[in-house]
Amino acid sequence: MPEFLHQDQIDEFYRNGYLLIPGFLSPEETNNLLQRSKQLISEFPIESHPRTKFTTGDENHVGDNYFLTSGDKIRFFLEEDAVDGDGKLNREKEKAVNKIGHALHELDPVFRKVTLENQKVQAVARDLAMHVDPVALQSMVICKQPQIGGEVGEHNDSTFLYTDPPSALGFWFALEECTPLNGALSFLPGSHLTTPITKRFVRLPEGGTGFEKIVPPEVEAHAATSAKGKYILEACSPGDLVLIHGAVLHKSERNTSSHTRFAYTFHMIESSPRALYDAKNWLQPTPSMPFSRVLNEPNLKLINPVIA
């Protein structure tokens, strides 16, 4: 018997590759996360910021040191269009931050409470039964600033958090209203079943990051064909949770509205030896911050297949 989800929700997750759960967080929990996000932004010293930018596009993923060493820190990444050609911010920093990452869930008590100390999250992980002993990694607040909030191009998360076999699962919480105009998420339902992981995002030996192909050209060509279809836009309200299978294709458009679209997201993966976390991944556990276990005890339910 599921603890938190209904069986039809579990079925929907495995059929579509994602699941929207309205009102998962209480208004108070949601507001705490939103206010804490804004406080972190208002307190961070923009003067010493190296002006790194983040997108998930193949060309533009800026793999500088600030990004690569952010896995065990709370750092601030700027909207591409908030910085002029001469490197100056063209607006106040509160309207310039694209995202905060990547160890909010470990370091910040407000985010930790919702992530690693949340019995509902643990119940959902057990209900989905995608993992035996999941660990959490890579938390982010994505701000989608008014007018300039950058698009997040089509991708699947297992490309970025590669394990063998693929096992990423995203928890994405709307902290504000998410609409077609401010860059709500959209999904290609079922693509986790039809479109294989064809590449992975790695640290390059020469420095920086890049994509490495992991399938032969014919599989890549097939994946490009199967990745076509009708995207479904999922409008969300504050407090809604979207569960995202690591292999499902999804994206979000540029925010062209005058409203922010704050969201909090973190991921979990299966731990070793059931899935191997690769040393080439951009994000690495550190001795002082290994990936934290999500469950107090391994989940001994019949495990659903972790589908690449």
Ligand X SMILES: O=C(O)CCC(=O)C(=O)O
Q: Which residue has the tokens 């097939």?
A: 222
Going residue by residue from 239 to 268, which x/- string records binding to ligand X, judged by CB under 6 A? Answer: -----x-----x-x----------x-x---
Interface of this chain with ligand X, residues 148 to 207, rule: CB under 6 A: 152, 157, 170, 172, 183, 185
> What percent helix, strand, coil does the chain show, rounded to 5?
25, 25, 50
Minimum CB distance to ligand X smaller for 36 or for 250: 250
Comparing CB distances to ligand X, the nearer of 252 and 271 is 252
Q: Which is nearer to ligand X, 142 or 283 (CB)?
A: 142
Report the length, in residues, of the chain: 308
Cβ count near 214 (within 10 Å): 17
Nearest residue to ligand X by CB is 252
Q: Which is nearer to ligand X, 157 or 240 (CB)?
A: 157
Q: Please state whether beta strands 185-187 and 232-233 pair in parallel, antiparallel, or not at all (unpaired).
A: antiparallel
**Closer Cβ to ligand X, 52 or 98, answer by number:** 98
- In order of 30, 113, 173, the CA distances from 26 in angstroms are 6, 13, 11
Q: Which helix (H) or strand (E) holds 40?
A: helix 27-43
| CA 80 distance to own-chain centroid | 19
Q: Which of 19, 142, 143, 268 binds ligand X (CB under 6 A)?
A: 142
Cα separation, 221 vs 214, whole angstroms: 13
CA gap 278, 268 in Å, rounded: 15
| Least gap, CB of 100 to ligand X (angstroms) | 12
- Shortest gap between Cβ of 79 and ligand X (angstroms)? 12
Question: Please, which residue, 222 or 257, has the CB nearer to ligand X?
Answer: 257
Question: How many residues lie near ligand X (CB under 6 A)?
Answer: 12
Q: Does 34 bind ligand X (CB under 6 A)?
A: no
Quick one: residue 51, left, alpha or beta (phi over 0 = left, psi -120 to 50 = alpha)? left
Q: How far is the CB of 183 from ligand X (least distance, A)?
A: 6
The least CB distance from residue 49 to ligand X, in Å, is 21
The angle subtended at Cα 228 by Cα 265 and Cα 270, nearest 5°, is 35
Residues at the interface with ligand X (CB under 6 A): 142, 152, 157, 170, 172, 183, 185, 244, 250, 252, 263, 265
